[in-house]
Amino acid sequence: MSKREVLKLYKGLHRTVQSVFKGDIPAMCAARDKICDEFNKNRKVSSETSISELVNHGREVNQILRETVIQIKKVDTERYQMKIREETHMFENNPFREDITEEEYKNANRRKRKSGVCEESPSQQKK
């Protein structure tokens, strides 16, 4: 791992923080301080494998920041506004199911809590 790659990661993390926390000065400063602290803490690491692992971890952090962190601002007492960027990963929502009754739904939730495993609804088991 070259110093150039480490510096590129350092700058990339700072750019990501500026993009993700745009307009939120306290969050931007806290993230900037955390980046600086982590890089300073590991400044004396000389093992090539350790440096490689740290750089990979930094890249993962950068990706998580870019794709999953969003800003939410309270508009009034019951409404919030989200700032979703183009690179924000949008998870698939589970579709609403009309083919099960309220009782089947409650029973499935009870079984899940007891076993810790999701089960299919009785209507899907029949198929």
Question: Which residue type does 122 have?
Answer: P
Model confidence at 29, in pLDDT bands (50, 70, 90)? very high
Tell me the pLDDT of the chain averaged across its residues.
85
Distance between CA atoms of 111 and 113, rounded to whole angstroms?
A: 5
Q: Cβ(108)–Cβ(121) under 8 Å?
A: yes
**Interatomic CA distance for residues 18 and 105, integer angstroms:** 44
Mean pLDDT of 37-64: 94
Residue 100, pLDDT score = 81
Task: Kindly compute the dihedral angle of the four CA atoms of residues 58, 42, 15, 5, in this order, to the nearest 10 degrees.
Answer: -70
Taking only the tens place, the pLDDT of each residue in 66-124 is 998 888 888 888 899 888 888 888 777 666 677 888 888 888 888 888 776 555 545 45
Q: Cα(106)–Cα(55) distance, rounded to whole angstroms? A: 46
Residues 9 and 58 sit within 8 Å (Cβ to Cβ): yes
> What pLDDT sits at residue 1?
67
pTM over the 0.85 mark: no
CB atoms within 10 A of CB 116: 7
Q: Where are the alpha helices (DSSP H) in the chain?
A: 3-20, 25-41, 48-68, 102-115, 122-125
Q: Is the pLDDT of residue 127 over 50?
A: no
Neighbours of 113 (CB within 10 A): 8
Compute the chain's Rg from CA coordinates: 22
